[in-house]
Amino acid sequence: MPAHIDRTSVNSSSPFEGAWLLLTVLAFGLLIKLFYNTFFGPLSKIPGPFYTRITNLELKWATLQGRKMYYLDSLHQKYGPIVRISPDEASVVDLAATREIHKITGGFKKTPWYKAFTNYGTNNMFTMIDVKEHSNRRRLLGQPLSDSALKAVRPLVMQKTKLAISKLKEQLEEEGHMDVLRWFHYMAIDIISDLSFGESFALLEAGKDNQYIQDMAKNDAYSGYVSELAPVFKLMSYSPYQPAIMNEMKETPRRLLSHARAALKTYKDLRETAPQKIENKPMLFAKMFKAQADGGLEENQIIAEAASNILGGGETVAVTLAYLIWLVSKSPDTQSKIAQELASIPDEFTYDEVRSLHYLEMVVRESMRLYNSVVGASLRRTVPEGGRSLAGYFIKQGVTVATLQFSLQRNPDIYVDPEVFIPERWEKPTPEMKEALLPFGLGTRSCVGLHLANMELRMAAVGFFKAFPQVIPSTTNGMSDEAMEMVNYFLVAPKGHKCLITVPGKS
């Protein structure tokens, strides 16, 4: 037994001293990072808030609260058309720079951020970064979505539009208002599921979401969390005590996979047992099925594309259309001009007739300028080798640059009274006005569903205003301008998750 224990030598440092030491090291590390980023960082010369030299926490916070585009827009108003928003990311709303970043020959690739939207363990066209892999896939899916190929889809869009409008009429009779967001969401999903799987999910008939749609919405939200808080989720995955959400995050993709497999099996069974049912049916994936039969594609890859289309082609159309109807419902003058124009085409109209409607075209453009489902998305791209000059600054290679429709399409130097809905501004647009309107993006990564979306938006808008020439926003069930405020994750949606419209005298 030792004769004497020197207690001062045992555990001489208290936990507080340890914490101080850790804090000092952290503070020192941050100072070094700040010093380096201030003078040598890739974005040291780009204007932006001081703290963005070391952190993007405010951006993440704004993103998680669904107000990213408002935060970015406020930075652009203060710092100009190019702003540092993180130590290695700049937001760009300059017109020439936006077109440079997205043009076909620009060489700016999507960033790895898109990987968070990968499903079923495989890339889909939206998440692909590699140029060759993407162009091969786009070749398979792009042609069936071309304007000429979609002629075969017109009867389907017409039939679903009519069904949606009859459901809206029923709701108006029963409840005194109609939720255009809900019914047009079902319409868009029924169209894209029919085109993808050979059989629609029949949400319009059922009047409610199925499990697949609920899971898709959850999965979309989870992808958003993971993309913004990747390190936190990585840490949580090692913890023995995992919150319930972690389990749901694993289970949801599994359920989605089995739903999608079942839907594809239905299609394949139909091909064998009742080929007459699908023989003349336009199918987006005809080329992909052929590629699968030739051994060039796996089933998971087809399923991943189908899921991506349903996500990309459902809510996008519904939200854009709901905002269009809401804007028009607040403008009696626009309604009477639409009604006058619609009187020139029969009630059983064709898509060619719809396309000839000049005033409607201006309404669609103007509403998409202000509101569309992707207006708040930061479209992130990597600056290619050698760096590039953008908006008067040289940006080094490897840095992320992200463009933002929201600020570009509301730029007062391009659009007079940019916050006001004025369809007539498109009567004689300036070249800048046309170039800055980019609801479907630009270049090789622009929206592959553009023609389908355009058809759905216009057919449904004409069907709606023929059925309801005079409408107003409802003031019941929590509907208000505030409920229509845009909440912005990757996509944009009304804060109240609904868009209730009525006719004068009904509510």
Report the binding-site residues for heme: 447
> What residues are paired with 179 via a beta bridge?
500
183 is a site residue for ligand HEM (CB under 6 A): no
164 is a site residue for ligand HEM (CB under 6 A): no
When the beta carbons of 127 and 334 are compared against ligand HEM, the nearer one is 127
The mark string for 319-348 relative to ligand HEM (x by CB under 6 A, - otherwise) is -x----------------------------
**Given the structure tokens 């047009």, which residue do they identify?**
184
Q: What are the distances in angstroms from CA 496 to CA 172, 472, 473?
A: 19, 17, 13
Give the residue, chosen from 95, 157, 181, 379, that forms a contact with ligand HEM under the rule CB under 6 A: 379
Per the annotation, binding residues are 447
Q: Which residues of 209-226 are buried (b: 16+ CB within 10 A; e: fewer)?
A: beebbebbebbbebbbbb
DSSP string covering 239-266? -SS--HHHHHHHHHHHHHHHHHHHHHHH
Q: First and final CA of the chain: distance in angstroms?
A: 91
Beta carbon of residue 492, minimum distance to ligand HEM (angstroms, whole number): 9
- Separation between Cα atoms, residue 383 and residue 251, nearest integer Å: 37
Beta carbon of residue 126, minimum distance to ligand HEM (angstroms, whole number): 4
Beta carbon of residue 431, minimum distance to ligand HEM (angstroms, whole number): 21
Give the residue, chosen from 313, 376, 423, 473, that forms a contact with ligand HEM under the rule CB under 6 A: 313
Residue nearest to ligand HEM (CB): 449
Task: Write down the H helix ranges in 330-449.
Answer: 332-342, 351-355, 358-370, 405-408, 431-436
List the interface residues with ligand HEM, window 238-267 (CB under 6 A).
Answer: none
When the beta carbons of 54 and 291 are compared against ligand HEM, the nearer one is 291
When the beta carbons of 374 and 436 are compared against ligand HEM, the nearer one is 374
When the beta carbons of 54 and 460 are compared against ligand HEM, the nearer one is 460
460 is a site residue for ligand HEM (CB under 6 A): no
When the beta carbons of 177 and 315 are compared against ligand HEM, the nearer one is 315
When the beta carbons of 354 and 448 are compared against ligand HEM, the nearer one is 448
List the interface residues with ligand HEM, window 6-35 (CB under 6 A).
Answer: none
441 is a site residue for ligand HEM (CB under 6 A): yes
CA angle 33, 34, 37 (to 5 degrees): 80
Beta carbon of residue 284, minimum distance to ligand HEM (angstroms, whole number): 7
Beta carbon of residue 461, minimum distance to ligand HEM (angstroms, whole number): 12
285 is a site residue for ligand HEM (CB under 6 A): no
Question: Phi/psi zone of residue 66: left (φ > 0), alpha (ψ -120 to 50 degrees), beta?
Answer: left
The mark string for 113-152 relative to ligand HEM (x by CB under 6 A, - otherwise) is ------------xx-----------x------x-------
Give the tokens for residue 381.
Answer: 């791209």
Give the residue, chosen from 92, 288, 374, 437, that forms a contact with ligand HEM under the rule CB under 6 A: 374
Beta carbon of residue 370, minimum distance to ligand HEM (angstroms, whole number): 13
When the beta carbons of 369 and 445 are compared against ligand HEM, the nearer one is 445
- Separation between Cα atoms, residue 314 and residue 337, nearest integer Å: 29
- Separation between Cα atoms, residue 71 and residue 352, nearest integer Å: 41
- Separation between Cα atoms, residue 207 and residue 184, nearest integer Å: 11
Is residue 59 a contact partner of residue 96, using CB atoms and an 8 Å limit?
no
Beta carbon of residue 379, minimum distance to ligand HEM (angstroms, whole number): 4
- Separation between Cα atoms, residue 397 and residue 399, nearest integer Å: 6
Task: Write down the H helix ranges in 80-130.
Answer: 95-102
Is residue 417 a contact partner of residue 360, using CB atoms and an 8 Å limit?
no
Beta carbon of residue 478, minimum distance to ligand HEM (angstroms, whole number): 25
Main-chain phi, psi angles of 308, to 5 degrees: -65, -40
CA dihedral 235, 240, 244, 246 (to 10 degrees): 40
Relative to beta strand 492-494, strand 109-110 is unpaired
Give the residue, chosen from 82, 256, 383, 453, that forms a contact with ligand HEM under the rule CB under 6 A: 453
Query: Where does this chain bind ligand HEM (CB under 6 A)?
Result: 125-126, 138, 145, 192, 308-309, 312-313, 316-317, 320, 372-374, 379, 439-441, 445-449, 452-453
